Structure 1
């Protein structure tokens, strides 16, 4: 009996000793000292080696987008590496195209800075900032989506394009020991420079959404980083076809109201919003009021599974089917069209197929696809 009791204890002690040895060896062997990062052939920064390129750059005030917080699952943190840092890792290849791999584009969260390195970054990333904010208001807009307003404290103003997104820095709490980041599209107008709003849907088990829905309170101080993204209205005369679902409402709301505020009302705008039942639908009156003021704006909400008590008289079925019907039956086939999509990867893929089947070229369809 004593041997049975002692065995797990011995194994535990041996495991602890081995872990300590590994930690010491790792600290000695992987002590890379100071290394240099050359950026765009113009700027050298000296950093401590050993961390990921994503983390290392952020510590110097250069923020590369990362919708997943550096987990290697979003593919947003792409950086062109001009020096040899070894072959692409299995964690990178599923998120890179053959063309990107040929040009040595890497996921900066997966590349460790072990020696001097040369990289190229888009110039707009140098305008990205970290902001200190205070939570000014939290409002339930559906049973699982909160509208969160962030008041800027430092810096006190923000400049962004309607459609772009911010990354919230989620502090440690019971689900995480270290801070992490998640990306959410801005739902407010760019003209509102001292604050901004995000729409955040609760994802069961989600690290960031659990924090926002269950822990975040009005008055809390939160860091955010941004703005990021190339999802914004293109300067053309084409008709705009927007499709969203859930919290994908955010960038389309910002783009549409920004168009109206700026007087870009000559373009036809068709906004399709898909929800399951009436409890998942929101901002309906807001968009119906906009329809009354803007003859070229058309708001088409649709419920895929309306409940009897919803007494729903609007469009029913999948939003992709409603989209297909309206393109065929309601829209002028002779006018150029652009697609603006925000929702799940599955919804976006289905919408792209509908649009291309109806003559809209894929290079005229824009989206941010957040898993």
Structure 2
């Protein structure tokens, strides 16, 4: 059995099969609803069901409360259609040329750029086409059926390769494999692209906020702006880490800042230590933004990193600096 999913106010529609999530149905038809984790954890895909009935399935109550369900809200990555549906998704992007696909990729190189960060380059099959928006992510498919999500770090595939930034997590199954066993020429499987972290068509000045390897999709956004060559929007980049080595592309960013009149780069360390002789900003990276700007009312913010960083930035930028919630775009590692 299948139903029809209508997306308002844009007037787009697609089929949705029984048992298929609203998000998966839209993505399969080339319609990019706002989303991030695809597991019901982050709440990015929460939206209004205008008419029709859904099964909330395994939507966590901590993310979608009973009161919100009664108001007609749903997590589109979890919700299943029980009838024809009309949903409100003003941010939907039509990406008919970008299809989600599974494919095998070969490890081209693996460079450990710090004690716990590796830059992994994956070679696509010869002649393979893999289109994505800068800022989106792929999921690496593990042998036990689990998945790990990583953002592409370049605006497009370079020399038929994708670049991922991998942080070694204590006890991490895949990151441990990357650091301890993975070798060039090994074959991995991946699926994507996913995510709604991409540049909006706007003239607003931008704050790009990254913590740790959350810099990967931010680097892709910067490449997009740099390669386009006609950007006039001021871009304020804040990149936070604990120690100096966590800012593994620091020199590159200093060079880009010197080349690009619209870019201002502010690195921030939370635990610099006396050995590194750090002369820059210290503390929590989003608090440095609060210190530098009295108002964010006319800005857009793109934030990526640990959930606590992204959630704190969202709350404080809106409550303390007047940022419009619709202009906060985020990809949290969950």
TM-score (norm 2): 0.78
- Specify which of 53, 64, 69 is matched with residue 96 of structure 1: 64
Say whether 1:308 aligns with 2:274.
yes
Determine if the alignment matches structure 1 residue 235 to structure 2 residue 201.
yes
TM superposition shift of 1:189: 1.8
Q: Partners in 2 of 1:350 and 1:42 — Cα distance? A: 36
Residue 147 in 1 paired to residue 147 in 2? no
> Structure 2 vs 1, CA of residues 287 and 316 (structure 1 numbering), >3 Å: closer, same or farther?
same
Q: How many angstroms does 1:279 deviate by?
A: 2.4
Asked whether 1:211 is paired with 2:177, we answer yes
Q: CA deviation at 1:219?
A: 0.7
Find out whether 1:167 has 2:142 as its counterpart.
no
Please give the per-residue CA displacement for 1:178-210, whole angstroms capped at 9, x wherever unaligned.
221121111112263722111111221223322
Question: Relative to 1, partners in 2 of residues 1:196 and 1:39: Cα closer, same or farther, differing over 3 Å?
Answer: farther
> Following TM superposition, by how much is the alpha carbon of 1:350 offset from its aligned partner in structure 2, in angstroms?
1.9
Query: What CA RMSD, in Å, does the superposition of the two structures yield over aligned residues?
Result: 3.6
In structure 2, relative to structure 1, the CA distance for the partners of 1:321 and 1:182 (3 Å cut) is same
Q: Tell me the matched-pair count.
A: 312
In the aligned structure 2, how far is the partner of 1:168 from the partner of 1:120?
32
Identify which of 231, 241, 255 aligns with 2:221.
255
Query: Does the 8 Å contact 1:68/1:182 carry over to 2?
Result: no
Tell me what 1:370 maps to.
Answer: 333
**Displacement of 1:239 after TM fit?**
0.9
Moved more, 117-126 or 243-252: 117-126
How far, CA to CA, are the matches of 2:177 and 2:2 in structure 1? 35
Report the TM-score when normalising by structure 1.
0.71
Equivalent residue for 1:352, pick from 314, 318, 325:
314
Q: Distance in 2 between matches of 1:106 and 1:297?
A: 36
Taking a change above 3 Å as real, the CA distance of residues 100 and 283 of structure 1, as seen in their structure-2 partners, is farther
- CA drift of 1:319 comes to 1.3
Higher helix share: 1
Q: Distance in 2 between matches of 1:92 and 1:136?
A: 39
Deviation at 1:344, TM superposition (A): 1.4
Of 254, 267, 270, which aligns to 2:236?
270
Counterparts of 1:44 and 1:296, CA distance in 2:
44
User: In 2 relative to 1, CA 108–154 (structure 1 residues): closer, same or farther, beyond 3 Å?
Assistant: farther
Secondary structure of the structure 2 residue equivalent to 1:249: helix
Cross-structure match for 1:138: 110
Give yes or no for contact 2:296–2:322 (8 Å, CA) kept in 1. no
- Describe the SS at the equivalent of 2:120: strand
- Say whether the 8 Å CA contact 2:104–2:187 is kept in structure 1: yes
Q: In the aligned structure 2, how far is the partner of 1:270 from the partner of 1:91?
A: 36
Question: CA, structure 1 residues 359+334, in 2 after alignment: closer, same or farther (shift >3 Å)?
Answer: closer
Distance 1:218 1:120, change over 3 A: farther
CA contact (8 A) 1:157 1:193 kept: no
Q: 1:361 maps to which residue?
A: 324
Please say if residues 132 and 154 of structure 1, whose CA atoms lie closer than 8 Å, have aligned partners that are also in contact.
no
Equivalent position of 2:8 in the other structure: none
List gaps (5 residues or longer) in structure 2.
6-12
Confirm or deny: 8 A CA contact 1:158 1:195 kept in the other structure: no
Partner of 2:299: 337
Task: Note the alpha carbon deviations across 1:194-237, whole angstroms, 9 max, x for none.
Answer: 22111111221223322333332211111111111111111111
Q: Which residue of 1 aligns with 2:10?
A: none
> Does the 8 Å contact 2:304/2:331 carry over to 1?
yes
Q: Which whole-Å CA distance do the structure 2 matches of 1:84 and 1:354 have between them? A: 35
Contact in 1 for aligned 2:59/2:78 (Cα 8 Å): no
With 98-107 and 269-278 compared, the bigger mean Cα shift is at 98-107
Correspondence for 1:180: 146
Quote the Cα distance in structure 2 between the aligned partners of 1:104 and 1:323.
Answer: 32
Deviation of the 1:169 alpha carbon:
0.8
Deviation at 1:261?
0.6
Larger Rg, first or second structure (1 or 2): 1
CA offsets 1:33-77 (integer angstroms, 9 cap, x no match): xxx4446486587x9xxxx747xx79xx8899997686x645678
